[in-house]
Chains A and B, each alone.
Chain A
Amino acid sequence: MAGSVATSQTILVVGGGIAGMTAALEAAECGKEVVLIEKSPTLGGRTTLLYRYFPKMCHPICGLEINLRRLKGNRRVRVLTLAEPVAVSGTRGDYTAQIRLAPRYVNDNCTACGECARAVTAEIPNPFDYNLGRIKAAYLPHAMAYPQRYVLDPSIIGSEDADRAKAACRYGAVDLDMKEETVELKVGAVVWATGWQPYDAARIQPYGYGRLRNVVTSVEFERLADPRGPTGGRILRPSDGREAKNVAFIQCAGSRDENHLRHCSRVCCMASLKQTQYVHEAWGEEARSTVYYIDIRAIDRFEDFYRRVQADPTVSFVKSKVARIEEDRASGDVILHGVDTEGYHRYAARHDLAVLAIGMEPALRAVEVPPDLPFDASGFIEAGAGGMFGAGCAAAPLDVNRAVQSATAAALRAIQVVNKTADVETI
């Protein structure tokens, strides 16, 4: 399938989120051959799961659309979805990557008409809603999915549902005989844009995530606010579907904590400040947001945004890391316990919903990589002497804007590596 496209002058970009797409496009627009691999069925990554960006409160689909247009207009980027690296070996200028391609069970005849989804009865938790809602087991990941093709969930393969999907397709796009395969790529440089994942909130025992119904993570809250999310954009709490008007935001949930993540995840302060505005927007003057924080880290020009939120009468701030959350069983309300730092007052504060501003941890898992890819103590990729580079949140906890900058820098370094390789080959 893709075995022949790559040479040692090709750049491999691992991860098709905002950083990976950017790195691939920047390199391709400089005339380099790029293979972009993404483990999920669509490009876009976690960016597409955000409702809005800070500080301008604009929608991520806008930037995503621009990138997709660039991608469609560029023949030098080869995109492989459902593709994961298994192992990468070799040295600067000469790497060999083993890529495992998972079957999609839908070929490129697909027109995204949706007949297969209508035919299938089985439902799965929606991975593109952090499993909050459910979707059919034949699905289009989201409206902006690229490639714009349906996917059959492996759980229905061999069942009658799979046969129904095949029968429903008028274009012969459903191919139930697709098998997992492994391909080998020769590349000169690798950009790791493998992104981040939310820290496992259930491990922060005193906050009761997973035990208490109305404790959610910040990434889940994005989905609750998004009109394309499981609640159609209404901020409703999970226990009883009641409107969540009085929302607590708990900062440093997992971050800056020796028991969890040592690093500051950097985006969570801004993310919570942004989310207070979702609450305000949804309920107007009735909205109540309370941000519990150690210190607000709204870096450089974001200070303006922080000031604006401080001036918002529906938002209040409590300087305190919450010690524990308990649930009022009758009402499902959450009660936050702690002591504030401005006066050392003990509080027991009742809220409709608690949002944990969850920390970012690097998502790069057990892939065999050569030793010239160094990691820091938190597992983020550091600058090394080899031909492999971290981009975006694989390199540091970053917001979208800075992830894009990081990706452009990584693309430049990768270009330098393959240019050197080209020089050597012409001599």
Chain B
Amino acid sequence: MSGERYRNSFLREVEHNVEEGHWVKMCMQCGVCSGSCPFGPHWAHPPQELFMMIRAGKREEVLGSDAMWMCTSCYNCVVRCPRKLPITHIMHGLANYAHRLGLAPKNQPTRQFAKMFWDNLSKTGRVNELKLSLGLYFKDGFKQGIRNALAMKDIGLGMLKAKRLNPLELVKPHACKGAKDIHAILAKAKEIEDRRKGLSA
């Protein structure tokens, strides 16, 4: 079963495939979520508008939008929504779905970081903080990376002194004992999720 099947009705597609997507139809367009969002002015489309766009079948605009990636999970909208929609969860659900379909905006920083974090974590079962931060420093090129690293050098040296940072992690990262098991678990979880969301593996 593929998402294609539902393309003529984007709302139904969202209901089936997006985490908490079945709540979207409950929105009564009051606007409290958008007005309560601390990041509100910086979104292309506030949640209320995204929900209306979903109902209007604007598939490309919604899934290609960077709006839901701006959510910081403060939950202000969730506690204030008069219809108790889990708006934060829907935002993350939409972002995840767009990402899985390959429609998410490529250079969206939240997405870049989330992807980096996940790849880092799933490799060994542990977050390698050194690699993660270096990855972040250098994501916009080598020059900018050096600049970032120099700006942070005092903190880095301090951490080194306090034994909170081990440079050897760069060459020989330490892993979970059962890294293989973790891979198996994650693969299985992905398989189940794909089946539920109607995505081919």
Contacts and interface: CB of A to CB of B under 8 A. Distances in A.
A257 B82 CA distance: 4
Nearest to B77: A323
Contacts of B35: 320-324, 337-339, 346
Interface in A302-347: 320-324, 337-341, 344, 346
Kindly state the interface size class of chain A when it binds its partner. 20 to 34
A344 B49 CA distance: 7
Given A338-B31, A341-B31, 20 more contacts: A252-B82, A256-B28, A260-B82, A294-B28, A294-B29, A320-B30, A320-B31, A320-B35, A321-B31, A321-B32, A322-B35, A323-B31, A323-B32, A323-B35, A338-B32, A339-B31, A339-B34, A340-B31, A341-B30, A344-B49
B79 interface: yes
19 contacts: A252-B82, A258-B82, A258-B84, A294-B28, A320-B30, A321-B30, A321-B32, A324-B36, A338-B31, A339-B31, A339-B40, A341-B30, A341-B48, A344-B34, A344-B46, A344-B48, A346-B34, A346-B40, A346-B41
B89 interface: no
A206 B36 contact: yes
A89 B82 CA distance: 38
Contacts of B49: 344
Of all A-B residue pairs in the complex, the 7 with the closest CB atoms, nearest first, are A323-B35, A321-B30, A338-B35, A339-B34, A257-B82, A258-B84, A320-B31
A403 B84 CA distance: 31
Contacts of B40: 339, 346
Q: Is the interface of A mostly helix, strand, loop or mixed?
A: loop
Contact of A259 (B28, B31, B79): B79
Contacts of B81: 258
A56 to B, nearest CB: 31
Kindly state the interface size class of chain B when it binds its partner. 20 to 34
B36 A321 contact: no
Interface string B1-44: 00000000000000000000000000011111011100011000
Nearest to A251: B30
B58 interface: no
A338 to B, nearest CB: 4
A319 to B, nearest CB: 8
A258 B83 contact: yes
B25 to A, nearest CB: 16
Contacts of A252: 30, 82
B189 to A, nearest CB: 32
Interface string B145-175: 0000000000000000000000000000000
B45 interface: yes
B80 interface: yes
Contacts of A206: 36, 80
B201 to A, nearest CB: 38
A285 B190 CA distance: 65
Contacts of B30: 252, 294, 320-321, 341
Contacts of A260: 82
Nearest to B35: A323
Interface in A66-110: none
Nearest to B84: A258
Contacts of B31: 320-321, 323, 338-341
B91 to A, nearest CB: 16
Contacts of B34: 323, 338-339, 344, 346
Nearest to A205: B80
Q: Which of A337, A338, A339 has the most CB of B within 10 A?
A: A339
A257 B28 CA distance: 11
Nearest to B36: A323
Nearest to A258: B84
A81 to B, nearest CB: 39
A256 B36 CA distance: 18
A344 B83 CA distance: 19
B55 to A, nearest CB: 13
Nearest to A340: B31
Contacts of A258: 81-84
Contacts of A320: 30-31, 35
Contact of B82 (A256, A339, A344, A346): A256
Interface string A328-371: 00000000011111001010000000000000000000000000
Q: Which of B29, B79, B82 has the most CB of A within 10 A?
A: B82
Nearest to A294: B30
A259 B36 contact: no
Contact of A344 (B32, B45, B84): B45
Given A337-B35, A339-B34, A323 B80 contact: yes
Contacts of A322: 35
A344 B81 CA distance: 17
